[in-house]
A and B are shown apart, each in its own frame.
Chain A
Amino acid sequence: MSTAPTQVEAAARRRAPRRRGALYVAEHQFRSMYNYKWTVVMSGIGTPLFYLLGIGLGLATLLDADVGMGPGGAVPYVVFVAPALLVSAAVSVATEEFTYTVMSGFKWRRVFWGINATPVEPGQIATGLVLAVAARMLFGTAVYFALMLAFGAVGGLWTMWLLPFVGVLGGLAFGLPLLAYSASLKDDSGQFAAVQRFVFTPLFLFSGTFYPLETLPTALHWIGWISPLWHASELGRVLSYGAPRPGWLVAVHVLALVVLAVGGWLLARRAFTRRLR
């Protein structure tokens, strides 16, 4: 009789990792992030501070044109631009964590192979990484949002409180397809730097971050339509200051972000399984 509890415990132990594997992976990632906690904190606070100060105190004072329109007329430039900056903060976390961290796990430090020998399945390794990175993104977007409040860079609708989550959704919509790509790479021979320079930067500059997409020649509008940055920024503007957009367009923004994120996550899980099994 006295052995019964231990047997139950042992059986539970064998079952438990299968359900909570992704959480253990996330816990491990948090411990690793703790090593570069100052990078996380300083870039999380410093980047929005510099952007909001630079744009709010500098650039905005030079602008005469009304760039962003709310339901009651023009909104200050910083209010227009802030939701897009918040989204790009989450996306820049993705360009780091879903590239170099992945290559490190498979190749440089080979940590994923160690986890692979435990009851945790490859798909759970991918999901655990996503959970940890999403948490880091949420920290970044929450800090951004707090500073936006301090700088008066939000519109004041109650829906503005959703901005940090829109940022995370945008970050994942950009990041999860990138994660799937990174997991399929055997080696980094400059691909990650190329993603940064030729994917992230152009999207940052050309998908309605600093000015409405319609300002660009029609021939370039497609960049916005394929860009998770644009979809998330526009969604953020609707939620922050009630930018007037038709309902169908708002639905398209949400749908595009969800499809990219979920599709990327499924592909990433598959890429991890192919690599590790």
Chain B
Amino acid sequence: MPAPVVHAAALTKRYGDFTAVDAIDFEVAPGESFGLLGPNGAGKSTTMRIVGAVSARTAGDLQVLGLDPDTHGPQIRSQLGVVPQEDNLDAELKVRDNLIVYGRYFGLSRAVCAQRADELLEFAQLQERSGAKVDDLSGGMKRRLTIARALINTPRVLMLDEPTTGLDPQARHVLWDRLFRLKEQGTTLVVTTHYMDEAEQLCDRLVVIDHGRIMAEGTPSALIREYSSREVVELRFGSERNAGVAAQLEGLGERLEVLPDRILVYTANGEEILEHVSRAGLHPTTSLVRRSSLEDVFLRLTGRSLIE
């Protein structure tokens, strides 16, 4: 087995009394697309900053590309590409100049920067906007430019913190397509997200993280198999009645989750549950049967929804 690109053992970060990252263990293999899935404030971004060698850990072991970030920060950062949660492109520079200026920070010559910039603009489908001002780009284009910028040094690991937060569905799909291409080319991806669909799209393997702790780890499908049923029935009786009806549904399916706006029934066969409900004389205002998702895994593990 090849040496992992990231190896974290009992990784901990405390700010005063607050423990942001609580003794987590994980490894990322070369070429793998690894995800940290969890709600806002779970400790994902803190973990990314520590792995990105810009924030010192409080305790635990950490090796990134075989080096300790405490002692080899610049060497590690020279081989990483970082896409931060909040864009920090230079709005005073044109699109292409943003890439060139950034490449210089990695010690690349101006000629190499210019060549890489043109390749990456094409990859990010921004070659027509090369001379545009950053502020004139759409949100999706800015994100693609940030990703292109993170690739300027041909990084061994690309780290993306909430890559599609705030983008419209179409822009998200364009972005996923680009990331998928990188994955196919063998780039190692480390992604944080609080969107289960994003985790399912992008990640070969992920950890579910909450309150700085790892709740579960595995491939998306294995996590769903382990922590959820094959199907889920969503029933809505109106926010007033949901809790009352839940008592009558007790014992139905493998498990029941009562949320403020709906009731979820976990089962291997959703249609059977629907028949049961209708035979019992209960008439939900809406009902649907769907496949289990990572959202259900998270709900099962934490009792809470990912997006609150």
A-side residues, CB < 8 A to B, are 12-18, 20-21, 24-25, 27-28, 31-32, 35, 109-111, 113-121, 276-277
Chain B nearest CB from A83 CB (Å) reads: 34
A17 touches B106 (CB 8 A): yes
Q: Could you tell me if A114 and B77 are in contact, using CB atoms closer than 8 angstroms?
A: no
Residue of B nearest to A16 (CB): B107
In the complex, besides A15-B107, A111-B88, 10 extra interface pairs with C-beta distance below 8 angstroms are: A13-B108, A24-B105, A32-B92, A110-B87, A114-B84, A117-B54, A117-B80, A118-B106, A119-B106, A277-B55
- Contact in complex: B107, A109 (CB < 8 Å): no
Chain A residues in 8 Å Cβ range of B149: 114
Q: Which residues of A contact B91 (CB under 8 A)?
A: 109
State in angstroms the CA–CA spacing of A117 and B90 once bound together: 14
A277 to B57 CA separation, bound complex (whole angstroms): 11
Q: Are B84 and A120 in contact, with the CB atoms below 8 A? A: no
Distance between Cα atoms of A188 and B105 in the complex (Å): 28
Q: Is the interface of B mostly helix, strand, loop or mixed?
A: loop
The total of chain B residues at the interface (CB under 8 A) is 31
Query: Given the complex, which residues of B lie within 8 Å of A114, measured CB to CB?
Result: 84, 88-90, 102, 149
Mask: chain B, 246-287; 1 = CB below 8 Å from A; 0 = not: 000000000000000000000000000000000000000000
Question: A121 to chain B: which residues have CB within 8 Å?
Answer: 73-74
Contact B101 A31 (CB under 8 A): yes
**Interface, chain B (partner A; CB < 8 A):** 52, 54-56, 73-75, 77-80, 82, 84, 86-93, 97, 101-102, 104-108, 149, 153
Q: How far is the CA of A18 from the CA of B153 in the complex (A)?
A: 15
A118 touches B102 (CB 8 A): yes
Nearest A residue to B76 via CB reads A119
Q: CA separation between A120 and B87, bound complex, in Å?
A: 19
**A188 to B74 alpha-carbon distance, docked (Å):** 31
CB <8 Å contact, B104 and A110: no
- With A and B bound together, what is the CA distance between A21 and B78 in angstroms? 12
With contact pairs A14-B75, A18-B74 given, residues A35 and B105 touching in the complex (Cβ less than 8 Å): no
